[in-house]
Amino acid sequence: MNETLLLTALTIITAATPLVYAAIGELVVERSGVLNLGIEGMMLVGAVCSFAAAHYSGAASLGIVAGIMAGMLMAALFAFLTLKLQSSQVATGLALTIFGIGVSALIGQSFVGIAYSGLQPLPIPVLSEIPVLGRLLFNHDVLVYGSFVLVALVSWFLKRTHAGLILRSVGDSHNAAHALGIKVIRVRFMATLFGGACAGLAGAYLSMVYTPMWVENMSAGRGWIALALVVFAVWQPGRLLLGAYLFGAISILQLHGQALGINVPSQLMSMLPYLVTILVLVLISRDRGRIRRNAPASIGQAFHPTT
């Protein structure tokens, strides 16, 4: 493989990884019947907290943990407001994004312009020495490997476990699940915390690997793309992984297009990933049958226990 193509493929993997984490977390949240529009805010808070922890401690592992905990804290706030106090999920999610943008900018003021060494690659013995494929697939940092493992685990959890069946039943009909004795609020709360942890991980990857430094509003709309990816994948983890790499490729190719001097306004090239997101959603929305078969029937609906 040409060296330029190999480097492009590697950057696509880097660009897709935060989308994988954010989207797989939201997929689990939506499968439980909750719609969380606050991914963007959770990613930003996770990014700044992970960068701060890694900067002060010098330990990347503490940075990853800090990102996870920050995302879970934001998710817990969202879950408390929507599941306990019955506030609107849409309005609360939007407010959470705005809050995350503001609080991350406030926390990150003193970190602007400070670089971080980033996570080091963790080559897999023997496999990383395979020509071309070794560098492409088996010479990444631990978070890239973790994204593949997480998608596989979520797919197995949803399709092969009793707990996954409970989660899906809550998302499909919370009233029927409640009648069977399932603790609907508890299941949704745990799913929302998982989604927050994944969003925090996505933010940690942005500030510790992808950049690596703190930049205000560095998620740059990736939280919204993650939401679109869940619909693009019709709530299926395998399709979500493919979709994340598709959108990662579009993000990188538009940068390469600008570098090559393609005679298109740079602003239009920067809009390309988001234009494609809108186009894909429009195309998918035309297949209403598939959406009805796969979308959680109770998504976005507040649960009011009768007992």
For residues 203 and 196, give the distance between their C-alpha atoms in angstroms, rounded to a whole number: 10
Nearest to 50 by CA among 122, 9, 108, 127: 108
Nearest to 42 by CA among 273, 215, 202: 202
Q: Is the model's pLDDT at 269 over the cut of 70?
A: no
pLDDT band at 75 (very low <50, low <70, confident <90, very high): very high
Percent of the chain with pLDDT over 90: 58
Most confident listed range (36-40, 108-112, 114-118): 36-40
pLDDT band at 154 (very low <50, low <70, confident <90, very high): very high
In Å, what is the CA distance from 91 to each residue of 70, 98, 100, 199, 281?
21, 11, 14, 19, 21
Q: Could you read off the pLDDT of 206-264 as tens digits, one per residue?
A: 999 988 889 999 998 899 999 989 988 889 999 899 889 988 888 787 766 655 666 66
Nearest to 29 by CA among 146, 168, 165: 168
Do the Cβ atoms of 12 and 137 come closer than 8 Å? no
Cα 54 to the center of its chain, rounded Å:
21
Task: Please state the φ and ψ torsions of residue 33, each to the nearest 5 degrees.
Answer: 100, 10
Which is it for the CA torsion 53, 58, 60, 61, positive or negative?
negative
For residues 42 and 56, give the distance between their C-alpha atoms in angstroms, rounded to a whole number: 21
Percent of the chain with pLDDT over 70: 91
**How buried is residue 290: exposed, middle or buried, by Cβ count under 10 Å (0-12/13-18/19+)?**
exposed
Q: Could you read off the pLDDT of 7-51 as tens digits, one per residue?
A: 888 888 999 999 999 999 999 999 999 999 999 999 999 999 999
Q: Is the model's pLDDT at 1 over the cut of 60?
A: no
In Å, what is the CA distance from 123 to each residue of 89, 107, 138, 140?
42, 34, 6, 6
- For residue 178, give the H/E element and its range: helix 174-179
Tokens (6 digits) for 65? 């943990």
pLDDT band at 271 (very low <50, low <70, confident <90, very high): confident
Q: Is the model's pLDDT at 273 over the cut of 80?
A: no
Q: Is the model's pLDDT at 307 over the cut of 60?
A: no
Q: What is the pLDDT of residue 96?
A: 96
pLDDT band at 287 (very low <50, low <70, confident <90, very high): low
Alpha helix (H) residue ranges in 80-141? 89-107, 133-137
Strand partners, 115: 213
Task: Please state the φ and ψ torsions of residue 130, each to the nearest 5 degrees.
Answer: -65, 130
Q: What is the dihedral of CA 87, 68, 162, 228, to 10 degrees?
A: 60
For residues 149 and 154, give the distance between their C-alpha atoms in angstroms, rounded to a whole number: 9
pTM, two decimal places = 0.91
Question: Token match 């609080």: residue?
Answer: 103
Q: What is the pLDDT of residue 54?
A: 93
